[in-house]
Amino acid sequence: MTDARPCHSALVGAHLWVVKIGSALLASDGEGLDTSRMADWCRQIVALAVSGRRVVLVSSGAVAEGCRQLGFVRRPAAIHALQAAAAVGQSRLIEAYERAFKDSGRRIASVLLTHDDLANRERYLNARATLTTLLDLGVVPIINENDSVATEEIKLGDNDTLAGMVASLLSADLLVLLTDQDGLHEADPRQHPEAPLVQEAAAADARLDAMAGKSVGHLGRGGMVTKLAAARLAALSGTHTVIANGTTEAVLRRLAAGGQVGTLLWADLAPLDARKRWLAGHLRGKGEMHVDTGAAAAIVHRGMSILPAGVTAANGTFRRGDMVRVLDVGGSEIAKGLANYDVSETRRLLGRKSSEIENILGYVDGPELIHRDNLVLL
């Protein structure tokens, strides 16, 4: 699968990188942090920084290391045990990175985020400003999900997703997802060793879904499915993604030199503006609106707002200003946006004309259920 679009050689010009290192690389099968590997990746990151590039590191490994320290054989299902493991492991993880970067004199900063931090517009902008300031100061931000306080409702779900959100947040040039696989293959290489590697493809290519499979490790939550989803999220901001094997010799240096390593998933859409990027970064809505065929076509093809007349159902717990998923008649998510009315009010307006809103509700807060300025297509 190739196309006359950006190739690996084009990555030489990538200035702002987000590099994500997965649990399978950092803490293989619960054996503890691999400090020699960490030191190697950190040397490569320093080399990128010396060459003028700006690098943000998204690192898994806290829960896996905490599980090892606490004697857990598998990642716990109970949320409080997961939080305890994260709290124990995070300090060990950052301590290991401090040692790895020490010889280079490069300073690091630990930044913990939850979905709630990025779903709130003010906190989203604060996170962006903090990370940008750290980069301006020559500091390497090391980001992890704040598992020690996150609840099931606000957890990002995996650090691939977190990395995609950070890439979108910063409008990064390149997202690098380092894993224990050589990249995305046309079939699971553990079951089909002969399956060819996908060298380059558009992140949005629907054919990739079947190739990604459903593989998930027992200490991590990611797999090719989440990596593909992260690449697509990053692509909304014009960020290209490379999925590569973190054990490949000098993997980051080779990518910086334009070497053909891993799978390049290029962004084939014009980058969204800042507000739309924030909207796209919302992963969990508070509810759904179902639209009819005519409304779906108007939304997708003409960029129209969502009017009451085209909405057939509404469910969830959303209030005014909450993120809502927009589903077509087949149940596919076509967009998401910020609701002008809460779910109970929306239900009263289903199928009605905008001119009737004031008579039905006693007030009007706009003729749309979701204005197109607060709507992003998926």
pLDDT tens-digit series, residues 117-151: 777 777 887 888 999 999 999 999 999 887 666 55
pLDDT for position 237: 84
Are 199 and 312 members of one domain? no
- CA-CA distance, 11 to 356, in Å (whole number)? 54
Residue 3 lies in a domain: no
Among residues 181, 131, 166, 159, the alpha carbon closest in space to that of 63 is found at 159
Is residue 203 located within the same domain as residue 62?
A: yes
CA angle 168, 213, 222 (to 5 degrees): 50
- Does any domain span residue 94? yes
Q: Are residues 321 and 175 in the same domain?
A: no
Please report, as a single letter, which amino acid is at residue 193.
Answer: P
Check residue 218 and give its pLDDT. Answer: 39
Query: Could you give the number of structural domains in the chain?
Result: 2
For residue 149, being part of any structural domain is answered with yes
In this structure, are residues 17 and 176 in contact, taking their beta carbons and an 8 Å threshold? Answer: yes
Question: What pLDDT, on a 0 to 100 scale, did the predictor assign at position 28?
Answer: 61
Q: Specify whether 145 is located in the same domain as 22.
A: yes
- List the CATH number of the domain containing 320: 2.30.130.10
For residue 115, what pLDDT is reported?
73
Contact status, residue 376 vs residue 280, Cβ threshold 8 Å: yes
Gap between the Cα atoms of 108 and 45, Å rounded: 12
Question: Do 139 and 250 belong to one domain?
Answer: yes
**268/289 same-domain check:** no
Same domain, residue pair 247 and 343: no
Please tell me whether residues 339 and 202 are part of one structural domain.
Answer: no
Task: Please tell me the predicted confidence (pLDDT) of residue 97.
Answer: 95
**Domain of residue 128, CATH code:** 3.40.1160.10
Last residue of a domain, one of 215, 246, 277: 277
pLDDT for the residue numbered 29: 60
Q: Say whether both 86 and 225 belong to one domain.
A: yes
Same domain, yes or no: 210 and 332 = no
User: Which pLDDT score is estimated for 324?
Assistant: 93
Last residue of a domain, one of 250, 277, 304: 277
Residue 2 in domain:
no
| Under-50 pLDDT residues of the chain | 1-4, 153-154, 215-222
Looking at the fold, whether 245 and 115 belong to one and the same domain comes out as yes
∠ CA 266-199-260, nearest 5°, is 95
* pLDDT value for 30: 54
pLDDT given at position 216 = 45
Residues 6+ apart with CB under 8 A from 75: 63, 64, 67, 82, 85, 218, 219, 220, 221
Query: What is the spatial distance between Cα 324 and Cα 318, in angstroms, rounded to a whole number?
Result: 7
**Residue-range definition of the domain harbouring residue 57:** 8-277
H-helix or E-strand spanning residue 8: none
pLDDT digits (tens, 9 = 90+) for 172-220: 999 999 998 899 999 888 788 888 999 999 998 889 988 887 544 434 4
Does residue 325 contact residue 287 with C-beta atoms inside 8 Å?
Answer: yes
pLDDT above 70 covers what percent of the chain?
Answer: 89
Could you tell me if 118 and 203 lie in one domain? yes
